[in-house]
Copies of this chain bind each other. A is one copy, B any other.
Amino acid sequence: MVAEQAGVSVATVSLVANGKTAGRVSADNLAKVRAAIDELGYVVDGIGSSLAKGVSSIVILVAPDISNPFFAKVISGVREALGADYQLLLSVTDSGQFPLAADVRRLMSLRPAGLLVDAPNSSFLADLSISGPLVLLDAPGLAEFAPAVNLDVAHGARQLAAHLAAQGHRQVAYVDSVTGTETFAVRRAAFLAEAATLGIEVAAEHTVETTIDVGAAAAAFAAAWPDWQRAGVTAVVCSTDTHAYGVLQEARVAGVRIPEELAVAGFDDLPYSATSSPGLTSVHLPAAPLGLEAGALLRRLMQGEVLERAEVTLESSLVVRGSTSAGAI
């Protein structure tokens, strides 16, 4: 250890570097060591430190889809909550695909201080069996596995159903996501349930599923629209805004007038939804607070607190724009 140039033992340097000097290092030595550290530009070796301590200062965020702009806000929330003590690293997979539990286990061999898992499905969590600090994001119904911060997407979904009903829609189509993530099941179930009570029919044959991709959604809509139109469908709800962009795109190509001929709505309220023409009606999800709460929870866990079955739920709400309402932008 180079910083012994301060004329003290490695033990003392370690104490200083870790700020554990309270009543254990003389002011004199403290100053000498600090000077040496500054001078040499010494940085504690993360690997050696991690091995000795048993954990690193890394927090790993596992997520199936970082390409989603929604996610950038979640990340900045997490970073804010975690502060400078921990390094946030993203485990990325091909978009929409969840990593294999085996991959995560390999990540765990880096001894992260904590793990954040976004939008997991239950089989993934069951496979995982992780011991360290773990917080789930957007994992409805999975609070049994670990503390979770969830979004009440159901609330927004019901608002959306009410909005469409108020606009007079009676036959509605649904574009679902193929990923087996719980949140999509909740979005759909909540919307369908509320729609049913309001006299809106969402026929099984008016439901399609695609990956979370503009092109895929556009193609699916193109294939389905003739049937839907014939059946009197006047609105389509998409499980994500990304799907909705595909529908808007294809609708423009096909000359379908939005919202007069077809109303379109999505979930997520991505930044572009305010920009598209017409603006996209969407269920707004609080991305930054999601990251912030999850980061705060994980932090407490990493500091040794015991949080059993902690579950925070954040509200969602409908933002109405021109894609469902001729009056709006």
| Chain A residues near B (Cβ < 8 Å) | 43-48, 50-51, 56, 58, 60, 66-67, 69, 71-73, 75-76, 79, 87-95, 105-111, 214-215, 245-246, 248-249, 252-253, 271-272, 274-278, 329
Contacts and interface: CB of A to CB of B under 8 A. Distances in A.
Contact of A275 (B92, B248, B278): B248
Given A72-B95, A75-B92, A110-B58, A105 B50 contact: no
Contacts of A272: 214, 245, 272, 275-276
A44 B87 contact: no
A91 B94 contact: no
A90 B87 contact: no
B329 A109 contact: no
B109 A94 contact: no
B67 A56 contact: no
A252 B329 contact: yes
Contacts of A58: 110
A107 B271 CA distance: 31
A43 B109 CA distance: 7
The count of identical subunits is 2
Contact of A95 (B44, B76, B94, B252): B76
A215 B88 CA distance: 27
Nearest to A60: B89
Given A44-B109, A106-B43, A69 B66 contact: no
List 6 A-B pairs, minimum CB-CB distance, nearest first. Answer: A67-B72, A277-B277, A46-B109, A90-B90, A89-B89, A249-B275
B51 A214 contact: no
Contact of A271 (B44, B60, B214): B214
A45 B109 contact: yes
Nearest to A88: B92
